[in-house]
Amino acid sequence: MSGGAALPAPGRTATAPSAAGAGPAAPPVPSSATPTPALPALPELRQRFRQGKADLIERFARTQRPSAAAVTQLLRALSRHVDEALVALWEQQRLSALAAGAALVAVGGFGRGELFPQSDVDLLVLLPAAGGTPGTPGTPGTPGSAAAAAAASAEGRDAVAAFITACWDIGIECGSAVRSVEECLAEAARDVTVQTSLLEARWVHGDKRRFAELRTALGQAMDARAFFTAKTLEMRQRHVKYESTPYSLEPNCKESPGGLRDLQVVIWVARAAGLGRTWAELAAKGLITPFECSQLVKHEGTIRLVRARLHALAGRREDRLVFDLQTALAESFGLAPTKGQRSSEVLMHRYYWAAKAVTQLNQILMLNIEERIFGSEKAPMRPLTIRFFDRGGALEVAHDDIYLRDPHAILETFLVFAQNPGLQGLSARTLRALYNARQMMDAGFRRDPVNHRLFMQILRQPRGQTHALRLMNQTSVLGRYLWVFRRIVGRMQHDLFHVYTVDQHILMVVRNVRRFFIPEHAHEYPFLSQLAAQWDKPWILYLAAIFHDVAKGRGGDHSDLGAAEVRRFNRAHGISGEDAQLIEFLVRQHLRMSWIAQKEDLADPEVIRDFARVVGTPRRLDALYLLTVADIRGTSPRVWNAWKGKLLEDLYRLTLRALGGAQPHAEAEIESRKAEARQILALHSALPGTEEPLWKTLEVSYFARHDAAEIAWHARSLWRHVQTAVPVVRARPSSVGEGLQVLVYSPDQADLFARICGYFDNAGFSIQDAKIHTTRAGFALDTFQVASTLAEEEGDIDYRSLISLVENQAAAALAATGPLPEPRRGRVSRRVRSFPVIPRVSLAPDERAQRWLLTVSASDRSGLLYAVARVLAANRINLQLAKVTTLGERVEDTFLVDGPMLQQPKAQLRIEREILDAVATPA
């Protein structure tokens, strides 16, 4: 509890509060009086308190399958245990005599009489007002006794300071304040947090009349409307701090949306308004139904159980479900892994369901209480249809039992919402009606043709689909209508690059697709928005987005399983012909375009021809391109970058040309690029023939893998250095997003790529792409796309300084001789430690077994690429192409390699083992 006297830590000198009750205080003066023999000494109190608390927690921790009743029993027992220790300390320190008229008050969470194992104990020591007569609240003292009263007050405050120090000494970690009633009122008026803490004040010991005076004064000073407004704003700020979702990877079970604090806010505002202090009292006042009351008790019990178990397991005040503890916590509940789910994922799935229900109930109750306090239930309504009204921007049902009488109105709710852009949400009455009608959404509801038509109408609306689908998910309607969707609600994906649950990811992808069709967002992805503007049936893409990951967590290929699910959906909803085939194609192939763009050599005509055969038509290509970009962007803010965007656009354009009948003609394409490169050189005032010294040394594969701008840049940079004996390094800002494009030209050597990787790693750069070539003259001509991790963290990038730094340092690093240094075993994140990726290495030959595709999958860490390159160098394996893909905290790297060692089966196995050892996550 903030304000008042500061709480002294164990072993520190306690300071007594000032005369005003809120300032610094003098060190306590040890009492010379001998304690009453019947009272236990401090060491005995310490031992008794700590042992008693440990016994209670241990007994709870031993319970294999604890219930909500068991955790309630624990919280109350811990509270009583602290009460007893505080009373013993109060008497041991003789506060009844030394601080006459003082009261010991529990506030905050401790005031509720329920204490979690590692929670702070919030205390208020309530003193008489300055000049008041001890034992007579609010009565001024007589003038003749002023000196005596001042002396008594100082002695009392010294005793209070000693009491607080003794609390810490025996093991009670408390937050404390020492105030008079008047000071409490003044603090509450300034700070709603203090006001909230005092709202739950509970007398523990001392002068009961002082406590009664406080309760009366607080009740008279309470402004229910102002308090509601302040707590609502506070709740919104808290939700924003925790990403406004109950589905974060490591949710705080106390503070995150859907956590215990959301339930406490409801009780606080109801209590301030005199509407009740418990769920039972709210039900008696008609604010909640008996069913809602039972659901509140159930889900509150679940989350309290998780928090108590978390405290007991961590042995500290830990309210976050951190990765390090999720598995141990799941095992403490007796949860076992299932097919396709870790035990931690089973735990989180259950937690998310409870948190989602709390979020729904919090919304219903806060709106309901707001109507009671502000009288907004009497606000005028504008009719929208026979069944629905607009009440101040909220969609209101005409009758409380509308969904029970006609279940078709359930989906009609969201259709009307999508058709009326002025609506901001659903009213408390509508939310409650939906919540209580969930049992109406059964198998018959899902098979009803009327509902099928209503759902398709929602998707075919010109606007509002994203908000409607989000509301349907929040109210559990979407999962009850699409039963297959219900299975992935709250399902976590511990794959190190998805940061949302499956249902949240799907809705994010729907949102991303929708934004391609909104002119206001055309500046984000102009080319994709241009493609979307020519698309006649956006609903096809929405459906593909809804079903693309809907089969996650079942085991097997979720793309094939999802395609089977959407085929059943299409049959039921009357979607047939080309539309049905396209939706099924998109779900089945939604990973293919990303895989090819990031793994395959796009300069290989066969790669483009194979992909064009799979896609078949430009319409399918357009749809798959739009869905792929929306999908990658919906995994995590860290996964998408401009370089991935360029790879996908290059693949799209090459495939579109192939689908149009323009088969790749290597010689013509290369001559076209050369001509364009010469034009660029001329624009830079280069002399005719500048390019010839370098071009004469290059193979056809070089021109196939670089665009005209890169070819011209290389020629300008190297025309004087074609026969150089020292490494040449040139850099420029990337034409694709942030980062640098770095050119390295050097006499070739076996460990050159490894030395380059070593430099970039030590300098704080991550390699996103590498194109490796060896000229006929025996020089390496390598081009790297890199990003500075340090510059990204610091914000603004000074490219001129960065380029100069890279050009000088890299050239010096490549000129160095001697053996390659050992790779660093870089640190890994907590998430990687908790959910490591099993390293995988694959070596597969091409059709002629002349080049090999090396694929490496592992948890990301610094030094990883250098470790792989070092193994390749040691085995004299030549690198021709490298594609480095970082997916959150997982890497998927692909290398095109050759070398005599790869022709020997035993050598292949040894190389694979060495790479596996190199990429293994450090212990």
The per-residue pLDDT for 130 is 64
The per-residue pLDDT for 61 is 87
Average pLDDT value for residue range 183-207: 94
Out of 291-300, 535-544, 678-687, 830-839, pick the least confident: 830-839
On the question of pLDDT at 795 being above 80, the answer is no
Nearest to 106 by CA among 87, 96, 121: 121
On the question of pLDDT at 137 being above 60, the answer is no
The per-residue pLDDT for 38 is 55
On the question of pLDDT at 724 being above 70, the answer is yes
Cα 614 from Cα 592, distance rounded (Å):
9
pLDDT bucket at 28, cuts 50 / 70 / 90: very low
The per-residue pLDDT for 443 is 95
pLDDT bucket at 323, cuts 50 / 70 / 90: confident
Cα 548 from Cα 562, distance rounded (Å):
6
Angle, CA 873 vertex, CA 870 and CA 874 arms, to 5°: 85
pLDDT in tens, 60-86: 988 877 788 899 999 999 999 999 999
pLDDT bucket at 392, cuts 50 / 70 / 90: confident
The per-residue pLDDT for 920 is 82
Q: Can you say whether residue 510 is alpha, beta or left, with left for phi > 0 and alpha for psi between -120 and 50 degrees?
A: alpha
Outline where DSSP puts E strands in 453-495.
none
Out of 25-29, 414-418, 657-661, pick the least confident: 25-29
Nearest to 324 by CA among 828, 826, 839, 824: 828
49: Cβ–Cβ under 8 A, 6 or more apart, which residues?
81, 85, 170, 171, 172
* Distance set, CA 889 to CA 111, 322, 499, 680, 741 (Å): 43, 16, 11, 39, 23
The per-residue pLDDT for 26 is 35
* Distance set, CA 482 to CA 351, 546, 571, 581, 858 (Å): 22, 10, 14, 20, 35
Out of 156-170, 526-540, 795-809, pick the least confident: 795-809
Out of 16-20, 48-52, 467-471, pick the least confident: 16-20
The per-residue pLDDT for 828 is 64
The per-residue pLDDT for 637 is 66
Q: pTM here?
A: 0.74
Percent of the chain with pLDDT over 90: 54
The per-residue pLDDT for 377 is 67
Backbone φ, ψ for residue 419 (5° rounding): -80, -10
Amino acid at 150: A
Compute how many other C-beta atoms are within 10 angstroms of the C-beta atom of residue 538. 19
More confident call, 602 vs 116: 116
The per-residue pLDDT for 666 is 66
Residue 776's SS3 state is coil
Out of 1-15, 364-378, 454-468, 483-497, pick the least confident: 1-15
In terms of C-beta distances under 8 Å and separation of at least 24 residues, what long-range contacts does 266-269 make, across chains too? 266/361, 266/362, 266/365, 266/366, 266/369, 268/196, 268/199, 268/200, 268/227, 268/231, 269/224, 269/227, 269/228, 269/231, 269/232, 269/366, 269/369, 269/373
pLDDT bucket at 56, cuts 50 / 70 / 90: very high
Compute how many other C-beta atoms are within 10 angstroms of the C-beta atom of residue 23. 13
The per-residue pLDDT for 32 is 40
On the question of pLDDT at 37 being above 60, the answer is no
Out of 223-227, 558-562, 668-672, pick the least confident: 668-672
Cα 239 from Cα 259, distance rounded (Å):
10
On the question of pLDDT at 504 being above 50, the answer is yes
Tell me how far apart the terminal alpha carbons of the chain are, to the nearest angstrom: 42
- β-strands 394-397, 425-426: how paired? parallel
Amino acid at 141: G
Contact 558, 631 (CB under 8 A): no
On the question of pLDDT at 116 being above 60, the answer is yes
* Distance set, CA 746 to CA 323, 767, 781, 820, 870 (Å): 46, 19, 7, 17, 18
The per-residue pLDDT for 182 is 94
The per-residue pLDDT for 829 is 65
On the question of pLDDT at 755 being above 70, the answer is yes
Cα 481 from Cα 412, distance rounded (Å):
13
Residue 290's SS3 state is helix
More confident call, 519 vs 582: 582
The per-residue pLDDT for 495 is 58
On the question of pLDDT at 839 being above 90, the answer is no
Average pLDDT value for residue range 20-31: 37
On the question of pLDDT at 825 being above 80, the answer is no
Out of 236-240, 760-764, 879-883, pick the least confident: 879-883
Contact 460, 517 (CB under 8 A): no
The per-residue pLDDT for 478 is 97
pLDDT in tens, 766-782: 888 888 888 989 899 99
pLDDT bucket at 648, cuts 50 / 70 / 90: very high
The per-residue pLDDT for 849 is 62
pLDDT bucket at 31, cuts 50 / 70 / 90: very low
More confident call, 52 vs 61: 52
The per-residue pLDDT for 135 is 44
Backbone φ, ψ for residue 788 (5° rounding): -85, 115
User: Any idea which residue has 């949102």 for tokens?
Assistant: 511
pLDDT in tens, 231-265: 999 999 999 898 888 888 889 999 999 999 999 99
Bridge partner list, 98: none
On the question of pLDDT at 30 being above 80, the answer is no
- β-strands 765-774, 740-747: how paired? unpaired
Average pLDDT value for residue range 776-794: 78
Out of 396-405, 573-582, 594-603, pick the least confident: 594-603
The per-residue pLDDT for 661 is 66
Mean of pLDDT over the chain: 86
pLDDT in tens, 891-910: 888 888 888 888 888 888 89
Q: How many helices (H) and strands (E) does the chain have?
A: 41, 16
On the question of pLDDT at 146 being above 50, the answer is no
The per-residue pLDDT for 35 is 47
Compute how many other C-beta atoms are within 10 angstroms of the C-beta atom of residue 210. 26
Contact 404, 410 (CB under 8 A): no
Average pLDDT value for residue range 12-37: 37
